[in-house]
Structure 1
Amino acid sequence: MKEAREYRMEELAEKAGITVRTLRFYRERGLIPPPRREGRIAWYDEQHLARLRTIAALLERGHTLNGIADLATAFESGRDVGEVLGLGEPSEETPVRLTPEALADYFEGQVTPENLATALELGYLATDGEEIVHISRRLLDVSAALVREGVPLSVVLEAGRRVRSHAEELAELFVDVLTTHSADGQVDRLRPLAKSVVEAELSMAMDRRLRRTPPA
């Protein structure tokens, strides 16, 4: 097993391409975790280096240090990836691992501390060390597409919250029906049928709504 690399302050600053003074400032602002102490010597590791590179990337994208500090606080208060994804549970969704700067690129200018906190609260995002995990590739891509079409990310997240509550009710309904009445009680095998019902009903409901809505 490869031994974890550690750096003194001067070594870490050189590796990250910053000055020792800047590194000390970041540490005092809480932008990086405290180092491991061995007597009077502070030791930093690869996670500290990754965080410094993330800070540099976010600064290049126009984020302020105050904004980065708020984002770091939100990430550190977020739930662990295992808690959100429910390791070992079956799922049709594919999680996506992202760096903070990659997430910022997905939703350019809209990854605010408020939106990040909402996404963490809803369980769309989780943390895994220095990485972020989005629970669903499909939801990530659709959310990014809506933002590109001009829908604010905050509105997308609020819509997701409302859809979540209805989806929970629908899931409870179909699991109860299929468990009670299917021949073998294998709910997972019949999931596509439940999804088809919901998709068809949503499509017809949108048709009805659009017919009632006068053209702009």
Structure 2
Amino acid sequence: MEELARLAGITVRTLRFYRERGLIPPPRREGRIAWYDDRHLARLRTISAMLERGHTLSGIAELAEAFDHGRDVADLLGMDSPTEETPVRLTPEELADRFAGDVTPENFAAALELGYLATDGEEIVHISRRLLDVSAALVREGIPLAEVLAAGKELRAHADVLADLFADLILRHGTEEDLPRLRPLARSVVEAEMSLALDRRLRKRS
């Protein structure tokens, strides 16, 4: 326990408090000896990063309880309704490899907050293969993962506005049942407008 607390940069008293609150899973026990491993250290670093971002211990404890006690991953990711996105299961090592070592505790906490990531046992689940692939490609192009995540957070607000606009349009002339069928049309409109907007931006710079 003392070694784990030292590596995590916290006191033993704080570590005991986290364990009592269920913020970290129980250690593996051999007789009277309790063994902690890298999973516990990663969890503690994530907790520290989330606290720095303004999360409360109660909120972190609720999230940790959900991860550790089998809440459905789709529910955790907000994907209990139909979706075109395909979740991706990764080991922590595979996730780190995708982003060339840029998966810091702070970035991991930011991805959790956005709902991009959840954990399911020993695996990490990403909400969308397309988002995962594009994010990794941007990092390979030299854009820091922290900035990719910040852009994703801002983009989500705009995407919600576009989704509401399209849904309101359909509901004025149809029903909820029409939304899934017409969803590809909404996506095509957004993709075309984005392409045209990029054309305009490039012409301004030339």
Query: What is the DSSP-based 3-state SS (H/G/I as helix, E as strand, rest coil) of the residue aligned with 1:92?
Result: coil
Q: How far apart are the structure 2 equivalents of 1:128 and 1:155? A: 26
Aligned partner of 1:140 in structure 2 is 132
User: Any idea what the Cα deviations from partners look like across 1:122-163, whole Å, max 9, x if unmatched?
Assistant: 110112222211000110011001100111111111111111
- Give CA deviations for 1:32-63 in whole Å, capped at 9, x if unaligned: 7333779x65688xxx7xxx4xx39xxxxxxx
Q: 1:203 aligns with which of 175, 183, 195?
A: 195
Contact 1:178–1:185 at 8 Å: present in 2 too? Answer: no
Cα distance in 1 for partners of 2:175, 2:2 equals 66
User: Structure 2 matches for 1:17-96, cutoff 5 A?
Assistant: 25-26=3-4, 33-35=25-27, 41=32, 52=37, 55=38, 69-71=44-46, 77=60, 78=63, 80=67, 81-86=73-78, 88-96=80-88
Secondary structure in 1 matching 2:113: helix
1:97 pairs, out of 76, 85, 89, with: 89
What is the aligned partner in structure 1 of residue 113 from structure 2? 121
Mapped partners of 1:115, 1:130: distance in 2: 19
TM normalised by structure 2 equals 0.70
Q: Please say if 1:112 is aligned against 2:104.
A: yes
C-alpha change, 1:149 and 1:138, in structure 2 (3 Å) is same
Question: Is the aligned partner of 1:151 residue 2:143?
Answer: yes
Distance in 2, matches of 1:156 and 1:98, equals 19
Instruction: Tell me the matched-pair count.
Output: 175
Percent of aligned positions that are identical: 57
Residues 194 and 85 of structure 1: CA distance in aligned 2, closer, same or farther (over 3 Å): same
Task: Name which of 159, 178, 182 aligns with 1:190.
Answer: 182
- The TM-score with structure 1 as length reference comes to 0.67
Where in structure 1 are there 5+ consecutive unaligned residues? 1-22, 57-64
- Picking from 165, 169, 177, the partner of 1:173 is 165
Change over 3 Å in CA distance of 1:193–1:156 after alignment to 2 = same
Change in CA separation of 1:67 and 1:132 when aligned onto 2, cut-off 3 Å: closer
In 1, the alpha carbon distance for the partners of 2:77 and 2:111 equals 14
Q: Give secondary structure in 1 for the equivalent of 2:178.
A: coil
Offset of residue 85 of structure 1: 2.4
Superposed CA deviations along residues 196-216 of structure 1, whole A, max 9, x for unmatched, are: 1111111101100110014xx
Give the greater-gyration-radius structure (CA): 1
1:212 — aligned with what? 204
Q: Which runs of 5+ in 2 are unaligned?
A: 8-14, 16-23, 51-58, 68-72
CA distance in 2, matches of 1:25, 1:66: 10
SS of residue in 1 equivalent to 2:142: coil
